[in-house]
Structure 1
């Protein structure tokens, strides 16, 4: 079986990541949530900053929403941050400020799905359970030459194969991390690095020469396009920010106005396209210079220090700063 070769490879090649230095469930949880929709290399600095500011469950549960959003700025998918706080509050109330130790209990918490629950339970607590993410699905679809489209039924089939492959508990932490690491570094989506793969001799897709054709992913729906016009009201070096509704995209975050108020001077900014998972915003924006200060205007220093600007608006914010500073 390939488990021994995989574990040996991991021992020699695992990246030295901050959250792997100790088996701390809180750190592992934060890193796993941050790594959703974000490359490990891209999230590391955010992770370090977050842990420095919110080092434990209590500090996260008590964190002000504005501060939490600011710490999350740049990572996107802010619902993840909201669920982190909800989960922390629940853990303070029900689990004495700790995460539960089993996948079965973890999956009941806000923002924790089967993969994240399995990752925390196996890596932090050595529970003999699987943690099947996109990397692991890719590895096993090639390893077992699974040609079927990756739908719900096929995912269950792969999860069963992973469950059947699990080693005893004392190896489970490294084993699950090794599968993820192999998918991230070697068994990559395009042009997998098969010559460097420790389990190449067990890979059925490699033997057939079809590794580049797998996994057979479902075609994504085309993103719909929405056209947006934003207005950035400025007085001196103050910028007006509007808190968005609590529903829909970027709910509860700060953005720019969509209502136009006539003014003496208008400066058009360069257009910008922001891509969400299911929609594209094709955006235009203008700076509207006011002759008096209005409510909810903030200095650049205050915005930079305390307020979270979503990535969708950051391009316009940076253009605005260049023109008014």
Structure 2
């Protein structure tokens, strides 16, 4: 790994560096929105996944201590009724030879359960540009191509050091009870003091969404999922400027949470973290990750880092993918 500090205007950036520019130091790039970190090359499709270099992945293996494996995906049919009127997962078994051989078929929306938001999912709203200057015409229509497709992540691979910030446990043990199904904001001051964060870490934040889901009845779950847009709310990260700087300057390879939105929802105005993370900085966003057993084991051993792998679907042109993620302790 390089021992150098990356100069802001020396493009393309070297992912092997050990120090990178702060958000306030980013160069203004031609034909890019202010604050865009399209710095890994004009044809780059990986964004911050570039930070998962062979050396960092190898170093991350040192976080495997017990060998316990924890799957971080919810079942594909959970939640039974996805929010925002997304399609319900459907599974059918096809008989090939009666009593002898079978296939199965799926119909699904990749946003319906544990997922990665890919770079095709969300643009910078003001310019309508996606990561690294892609536009909607790259995705749909006669000129469509494979820019920002999820299959680039699949071909590269996602593996590295995961770090869990169990905010739900912290809040309940510090007399800060809240409802995860409301737009409760997790603030910068509460997150930034946590742990030993390294360049290329994959950040996981537990807000309590999955915990509450399991505590609800099927009728309550359906009522929650079918709330009107103005009543739809979930706990998640705040959108303070300090939070944005922290998320950028830590140089996470990816971020994920157990809530359906990662950031607190709904968002007032055009202030979404999604457009900063996905479109401007190229940071994958994971949503509805199952962090319950992982949090329990991390609390038990008093250690919050682990080796993490994820295998996005190899779908050329894909927008997102179920995470297929595993933590190895």
TM class by shorter chain equals under 0.3
Structure holding more helix per residue:
1
The structure, 1 or 2, with the larger RCO (C-alpha pairs under 8 Å, 6+ apart) is 2
Which protein is bigger by CA-based radius of gyration? 1
Give me the TM-score of the superposition, normalised by structure 2: 0.22
Normalised TM-score (structure 1): 0.22
